[in-house]
Amino acid sequence: MPLSIAQRISVLILLAILLVGMVPSRVSVVHAQPPARDKGSPFGMVTAIGNRVRADEIDQYVGLLREAGVQWVREEIFWDRVQHDPGGPFFWNGDGSGFYDYDRSISAQASAGIHILGLLDYNPAWFKGQAPPLDAWIKDWGDYVYQTVARYGRSGQVKHWEIWNEPNLTGSGYSSGLYEISDYARILGVAHDAAKAADPEATIVLGGLASVWSVPPAPTTYDYFDYLDALGKLGAWGNFDIVAVHPYRPDSPEGQPLRRDHPETFPEEMRRLDELVARYGPKPVWLTEIGWATNRGWPGVPEDRQGQFLARLYIMALATPNVEKVFWYDFRNDTIPTAPYDQPVYNDSYHELNYGLLRRTYPLDPNAPNLRKPGFLAYRAMTNELSGLSLTEVPADGRRGDMPSTYWYRFGGTRRVDVLWNTDVSNQVVPIPCNCREALVRHWNGRVRFLIFPENGVLNLTLDEQGAPVYVEYDPPAAQNARLFPETGHTLRGSFRSFWEANGGLAGFGYPLTEELIEPEAGSGRPRVVQYFERARFEYFPEFAGSPYEVQLGLLGVALLSRFGVDWQAQPKVPNAPPGCRFFPESGHSLCPPFLARWQQLGGLPLMGLPITEPFEATRPDTGQKYTVQYFERARFEHHPENAGTPYEVLLGLLGRELITRFDNP
């Protein structure tokens, strides 16, 4: 008589328990070359939506994950929340409070096209606060793993399962019922067999092991190197497919802090891990947690530095042969656990509440001006720049060659992008042979920095912001089904093309200098589609689609004055305007002919903005010719009397070109 499913699972679990308990006296080690790793979707995020996000905010939360370009999430499914009694029913839809609805949270993320790593932990509800032996609950553990994997694995929503979290630490290991490393080896073996029985396509990820830098660690806390080595000696290596570690660091990604008795950089740590993994059998490595908090005081870092560290760590991890994926911890700042969800209590001195890339607010409003931390912009910029590309070369890794403290990584595919930063030297010039027409340089947060052009086939890039990565995009591909301008090699399409053609075209705005780009909106950091022209920057506002405000001009007048160190609001104002002119009390400046008529013709206040200076005389540096100019929020008007009576008497200055182009060292 064939066994029932429940009987078959019981047999598998019993065999796993017996086999894992048979510890060999010697381990036969097979050395092999690691296979090529899949780095096609490396950008992960710790979310645990079911446990941390109330049902009414899940859609907004997932929308922000998509905005950030997150490819993988780690969704934690607490055993004590889905099963309350031994042998009792499983509850997948929460407790009525809006939390622990794993069906809802997993479905929302899977429907958004995000891959899910399921995390299974900890000991059962009926033994919380007690210290039972492992044998008292290991069979129930296997049933929990089987039921969970069957529910979400067979549907195709979750194919990767991480077994436990940080079992090498006292709090989540010893205090959660795993008293010896061999106890974890046993539950790992049971979970492996139960998961494979529930879904033969299941991939088993080792429970993420945390770095321990203290000297010495507590008796029930193990550095992950020691823990991994012990698992290998226990014969547990065949019970998982992927190694997972949490390589948190007490300083920068490139630093050399002491790890107990020796200094260790991140690349050195990863090489040491590779050597250990190779000893027991090559496996890919996932970093299922990594992050820096932004709390005041140690170990916190300033918010900008969090974003810079994030980009630097991810890039260095991608250059590590065995590392496939990196999960940032975590997506949103936490609140004091006892505070009501809709009344979050925040403490900027406590590091555990400050790892997020979003600030903690209620409600979760994607349009809130202070929601996104700089780290969110850094993550979004990184995924926008590098998704779909592969690392092709590392010209400088901070240690060798004639560029000490310089890091330079080249990515290729359908596009070419380099990432560079310097941690020590001021204003280092990096010559880059590029075989390119131009290169667009962006800040680590996605803002356009400048457009540079090669001289004799070489770009001279200055790294003048220490620790701040820049992205260098070579010859961005032209848009399809768009109007191409051979003069600059760029295109114009859609709403931007309609606006350009309807409001002055070439005479009003000049040629496009870039393709359409995504930049962070000033103030809020929301993604904004923009395009630079010789005389303007167009900005697209989908929230105003179909209205005159769908396309607006960027505040280039303000930006250029700021580059010159001029705060227009601090400059002298005028009390009124002469006859025939118009006075603007909002800015304290006047507007007179011939600029007044041109300002009105070009759309007035909505398009050009307020006047922010009075007219003044300027000199063209190339010809020495005198002419009159006046700055507006979004433009600079130039009066050319030699063109009197023609459409070119009053021109918009080349603000776009002046703001972003560089022909020599920036």
Rg (CA), the chain: 29
Average pLDDT of 467-493?
96
Amino acid at the residue 137? W
Query: What is the pLDDT confidence band of residue 609, given thresholds at 50, 70 and 90?
Result: very high
> What's the confidence (pLDDT) of residue 110?
98
**How many beta carbons lie within 10 A of that of residue 421, not counting itself?**
23
| pLDDT of 10 strictly over 70 | no
Do residues 123 and 136 make contact, with C-beta atoms less than 8 angstroms apart? no
d(CA 380, CA 357): 10
Q: How confident is the model at residue 421 (pLDDT cuts 50, 70, 90)?
A: very high
Give the residue-averaged pLDDT of 345-350.
91
Chain-centre distance for alpha carbon 47:
13
Rounded to 5°, angle at Cα 151 from 150 and 154: 60
* pLDDT exceeds cutoff 70 at 20: no
Render pLDDT for 134-177 as a digit per residue (tens, 0 to 9).
999 999 999 999 999 999 999 999 999 999 999 999 999 999 99
Percent of the residues in the chain that have a pLDDT greater than 90, as a whole number: 83
Mean pLDDT on 11-32: 35
Give the burial string for 584-613 (b: 16+ CB within 10 Å, else e): beebbbbbbeebbebbeebbeeebbbbbbb
Lowest mean pLDDT among 9-13, 175-179, 345-349, 593-597: 9-13
Per-residue pLDDT of 457-475, as tens digits, reads 999 999 989 999 999 999 9
Q: Which CATH architecture has domain 41-386?
A: Alpha-Beta Barrel (3.20)
Amino acid at 21: G
- Detail the DSSP E strand segments found in 302-457: 323-328, 390-397, 406-412, 416-422, 428-433, 439-443, 448-452
Name residues whose C-beta falls within 8 Å of residue 192's C-beta, 6 or more positions apart in sequence.
16, 163, 204, 239, 240
Tell me: pLDDT of 666 over 70: no
Beta-strand (E) ranges in 187-283? 203-210, 243-246, 258-259, 262-263
Residue in 405, 292, 413, 420 with CA at minimum distance from that of residue 357: 292
The answer to whether the bond into 299 is cis (omega within 30° of 0) is: yes
Identify the pLDDT of residue 648. Answer: 82
Q: Which of 42, 15, 433, 383 lies closest to 189, judged by CA?
A: 15
Give pLDDT tens digits for 426-443.
Answer: 788 999 999 999 999 999
Reply yes or no on whether the pLDDT at 61 is more than 90.
yes
Q: Give mean pLDDT, residues 21-30.
A: 33
Give the pLDDT mean for 591-613: 92
Q: Which of 633, 467, 442 has its CA nearest to residue 537?
A: 633
For residue 162, which amino acid is it? Answer: E
DSSP E strand boundaries for 17-122 = 43-46, 72-78, 115-121
Kindly report the backbone phi and psi dihedral angles of residue 173, in degrees, each rounded to the nearest multiple of 5, phi listed first. Answer: -110, -85
Mean pLDDT calculated for residue range 630-635: 96
CA distance 623 to 495: 37
Question: Using the 8-state DSSP alphabet, how is residue 207 labeled?
Answer: E
Give yes or no for residue 527 having a pLDDT over 50. yes
CA-to-CA distance for 370 and 358, rounded, in angstroms? 9
In this prediction, residue 105 has a pLDDT band, given cuts at 50, 70 and 90, of very high
Residue 536 and residue 634 in contact, taking contact as beta carbons nearer than 8 Å: yes
What φ, ψ does residue 272 adopt, rounded to 5°?
-65, -40
Query: Tell me, what's the pLDDT at 663?
Result: 60
Tell me the pLDDT band of 34, cut-offs 50, 70 and 90: low
Among 1-10, 206-215, 298-307, which stretch is predicted with the lowest mean pLDDT?
A: 1-10
Encode pLDDT of 293-315 as tens digits: 999 998 999 999 999 999 999 99
3-state secondary structure of 235: coil
Compute the CA torsion angle 601, 604, 610, 616 (nearest 10 deg). 10
Question: Among 485, 471, 479, which residue's Cα sits nearest to residue 443?
Answer: 471
Query: What does pLDDT average to over the chain?
Result: 91
Secondary structure (3-state) at 509: helix
Confidence of residue 401 (pLDDT cuts 50, 70, 90): low
Task: Give the model's pLDDT for residue 335.
Answer: 94
Domain 390-474 sits in which CATH superfamily? Golgi alpha-mannosidase II (2.60.40.1180)
Opening angle at CA 106, ends 105 and 108, nearest 5: 65
Check: CB of residue 355 under 8 Å from CB of residue 330: yes
Range among 22-31, 184-193, 338-347, 612-621 rated most confident: 184-193
Interatomic CA distance for residues 219 and 217, integer angstroms: 6
Q: pTM for the whole thing?
A: 0.92
Residue 11 scores a pLDDT above 60 = no
Confidence of residue 603 (pLDDT cuts 50, 70, 90): confident
- State the DSSP string of 146-182: HHHHHHHHTTTS--EEEEEE-TTSTTTTGGGT--SHH
Start and end residues for every CATH 3.20.20.80 domain found in the chain: 41-386
CA pair distance 144, 663, nearest whole angstrom: 63
Q: What single-letter DSSP state applies at residue 346? A: -
Q: What average pLDDT does this structure show over 470-485?
A: 95
> Please, which residues have CB within 8 angstroms of residue 361's CB and are 6 or more apart in sequence?
344, 368, 370, 371
Mean pLDDT of the 576-605 span: 94
In DSSP terms, which residues pair with 326 in a beta bridge? 43, 287
SS3 label, residue 177: coil
Where in the chain do CATH 2.60.40.1180 domains reside? Answer: 390-474
Q: Please state which of the ranges 241-245, 357-361, 609-613, 616-620 shows the lowest mean pLDDT.
A: 616-620
Other beta carbons within 10 Å of 214: 12
Supply the pLDDT for residue 17.
37
